[in-house]
Amino acid sequence: MSQEQLVTFAMIAWRLMVECWGLKRTLKWLDTLEHHNVILEMNCKLVIDDNNKNKLNLFEYDVILQDCKTLFSHHYNYKVLFTRRQANDSAYALAHAHAALS
């Protein structure tokens, strides 16, 4: 592998880990609120697909993903769905506008 390929792989792995960590933190937060019938939307299809598979490695990403699977197993009425980045950007902008007004 070239240096450029290694850097690209590391960046992708880092992004996956950050997305997965965000999902885990969200699930833990929702657990404290005791909400039911929750639908989460993410724009990282790979994390969603990996969450639905039973394949695990020993990377830190997989450890975080396993934590997410455990949290999902305690809440059968939670779902995570894929949404395109454009829709996510709109929601992000609205959330920041609301926070700025508060």
What CATH number has the domain bearing residue 55? 3.30.420.10
Question: What's the pLDDT tens digit per position in 36-74?
Answer: 888 888 888 888 888 878 766 657 888 888 898 998 888
* 3-state secondary structure labels for all residues of the chain: CCHHHHHHHHHHHHHHHHHHHHHHHHHHHHHHHCCCCEEEEECCHHHHHHHHCCCCCCCHHHHHHHHHHHHHHHCCCEEEEECCHHHHHHHHHHHHHHHHHC
User: How many domains, the chain?
Assistant: 1
d(CA 95, CA 44): 19
Q: Which domain holds residue 91?
A: 3-101
On the question of pLDDT at 11 being above 70, the answer is yes
